[in-house]
Amino acid sequence: MGLAVVRAFRARGDSVAVVDKSAHAAGRAAGEDLPGQAIALVCDLATEKGPRQAVARAAAQLGGLDVVFGHAGVQITAPLEEWTVADWEKSMHLNLRAPFLLAQAAARHLDRSPTPSLIFTASTAAFRGLARSPAYGASKAGLVSLVRCLAAELAPRGIRVNCICPGLIDTPFNDAFWAGQGSRKRTLDRMLTRIPLQRQGKPEDVASLVLFLASRESSYITGQAFVIDGGYLAV
């Protein structure tokens, strides 16, 4: 999904800083032949200093920031009794603390933008129980609440804050989920019967929503959690 968003911004000519803890991943995304400029930054957003470093370096190299899209996340899946404090903290540090630190660091840069927008990736797991992934669901529910709090505080400065809540999107991020389900095919077939649009989402579906939330067309939208799940939560 993150790669699809990078491609979508660059396709319309925007300059983008791609942040990843993997130099290879960041470089590969930034190195694609697309119209908009791209730079690769290596930072671990799960650390206390990582989000601040990423924002500072991106703003310096791009000459400012208009949009910050916080997408990094982790999903750990295990039976309840096998969870450790380290597992829980790893989830919270990346899924919930990192967005807060990104917002904190980015706000002063976004103050200078004519179209300032903060966008984060939550999940439909914020609204429904997900067995064997308690920290994922709890952190994403916390992120939805954090977005509302940030939106309330930053609105007087003209900075909008929203999050997207993807459902079943066909990406490698779901590998941990599938690993805990036994038969991937049987589980997927069962889930598709409960999705009104009867398919998995595509990364491009998510990218279109992110571009809208970053645009002037969404200038009166803030503090919202946008579900993009083919109707799964609606039925």
pLDDT digits 0-9 by tens, 65-109: 999 999 999 999 999 999 999 999 999 999 999 999 999 999 999
- Tell me if 34 is assigned to some domain: no
Residue 172's pLDDT band (cuts 50, 70, 90): confident
- Tell me if 79 is assigned to some domain: yes
- Tell me if 15 is assigned to some domain: no
Reply yes or no on whether 232 is catalytic: no
Distance separating alpha carbons of residues 235 and 22, to the nearest angstrom: 39
- Tell me if 48 is assigned to some domain: yes
Q: Are 68 and 61 in contact (CB under 8 A)?
A: no
Mean residue pLDDT across the chain = 95
- Tell me if 8 is assigned to some domain: no
CATH of the domain at 165: 3.40.50.720
Which structural domain range is residue 224 located in?
Answer: 43-234
Percent of the chain with pLDDT over 70: 97
pLDDT at residue 104, rounded to an integer: 98
Residue 206: phi, psi to the nearest 5? Answer: -70, -40
In the set 9, 136, 177, 226, the catalytic residue is: 136
Token pair of 121 as six digits: 């990736």
Q: How many domains does the chain have?
A: 1
- Tell me if 182 is assigned to some domain: yes
* CB atoms inside a 10 Å sphere around CB 129: 8
Residue with tokens 């889930």: 191
- pLDDT mean over 18-42: 97
Distance separating alpha carbons of residues 56 and 102, to the nearest angstrom: 10
- Tell me if 215 is assigned to some domain: yes
pTM of the model: 0.94
- Tell me if 12 is assigned to some domain: no
